[in-house]
Amino acid sequence: MLPAQLRIGSAVSITVYDLIALIAWDRVSAMDVFGAKGLGNPQVSETFLFLSG
């Protein structure tokens, strides 16, 4: 059994990774989580992704 701090840290890490994965899936349109336009204007998002490398 893990100490309480490690259990809480693990749960937070898993939640953060799940959120990142969910947003990534929405970005590539594998699933429509946040509505038809995703998390904002798709053109702006694509430009940002292109510029960020």
Residue 50's pLDDT is what? 54
Distance CA 15, CA 37 (A): 24
Q: Residues 12-42: pLDDT tens digits?
A: 999 999 888 887 777 776 555 555 555 555 5
Show Cβ contacts of residue 25 under 8 Å, excluding neighbours closer than 6 positions: 31, 33
Q: Which of 9, 12, 40, 14 is nearest to 27 (CA)?
A: 40
Residue 49's pLDDT is what? 54
Distance CA 28, CA 32 (A): 9
Extents of the domains making up the chain: 4-51
Q: Give pTM, 2 decimals.
A: 0.48
Residue 29's pLDDT is what? 65
pLDDT at 52 over 80: no
Residue 37's pLDDT is what? 53
